[in-house]
Amino acid sequence: MKKIILSILVTGSIAAFTTSCREKKPSEKVEDAVESVGDGIEDAADEVEDAVD
C-alpha cells in the first residue's frame, strides 16, 4: 500500500515540475508585457494624483 502511494506521489511531483517549466508562447509574452505596461501606467497615475493632492 505504501509503495503505491509513494509511486503516485513521485509521479505527480515529476509531472508538476516538468509542466511548470515550459516555455511561454509568444502570445503569453505579449500579454505579460501589456499587463506590465498597464501596471506602470496605473502606478504613475497614482503618483501624479498624490502629487496633486
Residues 1-53 pLDDT 10s: 678 888 888 888 877 776 655 677 888 888 888 899 888 888 888 888 888 87
Q: What is the pTM of this model?
A: 0.49
Residues 34-44 pLDDT 10s: 899 888 888 88
> What contacts 24+ positions apart, CB below 8 Å, involve 33-36?
none
Query: How confident is the model at residue 5, as a pLDDT?
Result: 81
The CA distance from 18 to 48, in Å, is 44
